[in-house]
Amino acid sequence: MKSYDLSQPTAPSQKFNIIPKKVFLTSGVGTHRDELISFELALRDAKIEKFNLVPVSSILPPGCKIVSIEDGLKEMHPGQIAFCVMARKTSNETGKKIFASIGVAIPEDDSLHGYIAEYSGECKENLEDIGRHAEDMASYMVKTAFGIESIKTFNVTKTADVRGYTTVIATAVFVF
């Protein structure tokens, strides 16, 4: 593993830039009598419980490749710090239905960055509408940032009926 000495100034060509090359989307649900454990179980369901997750905001770097969860996980190791955009909802109101969704919008021009939007809450609409709303939010950010209409969108969405503490997550995990 490469190490960096961040205490010493570096030449411009040696700057420490953390720019992901790949991203994968995943989602999960967990239910338990304890709130924290319901979150852990949602992470397990999403297959990302082995990582130290660091939430970041909504920028998808130019040229960042969307990969399958299987391909993304092959490049990661237990205990690794993993940057992610996460939508999360936890409830213990039995009978409610909750959701978490990640929407992604990518300009057709691959020299421009895309956006990732998090959307979560209590279900009052169908699953397709929830995912579409998350995509629309990300698409709006691209359109207003660049004044363009040519955009590819997609989402990952998870819903669950609340029993005990229930947590749903939808996540975009960056791979370096």
For 28-58, what is each residue's pLDDT tens digit?
999 999 999 999 999 999 999 999 999 999 9
Domain spanning 20-175: CATH 3.30.565.10: no
pLDDT at 124 (0 to 100): 85
Q: Would you kindly state where each structural domain of the chain is located, as residue ranges?
A: 20-175
Task: Count the residues in the chain.
Answer: 176
Q: What is the pLDDT of residues 88-119, one digit of tens each?
A: 999 999 999 999 999 999 999 999 999 999 99
Task: Report whether 166 contacts 142 (CB < 8 A).
Answer: no
Beta-sheet strand order (sheet of 114-122): 59-60, 114-122, 97-107, 151-161
SS3 90: strand
Q: Could you give the C-alpha distances from 127 to 13, 15, 64, in angstroms and in order?
A: 47, 43, 27
Residue 24, token pair as written in the block: 């994968």
Can you tell me the distance from the alpha carbon of 21 to that of 46, in angstroms, rounded to the nearest whole number? 21
Residue 70, token pair as written in the block: 């299987």
pLDDT beyond 90 at 14: no
Backbone angles phi, psi at 132, to 5 degrees: -65, -40
Task: Report whether 29 contacts 101 (CB < 8 A).
Answer: no
Q: In this structure, what DSSP letter does residue 14 have?
A: G
What pTM, to 2 d.p., does this model score? 0.90
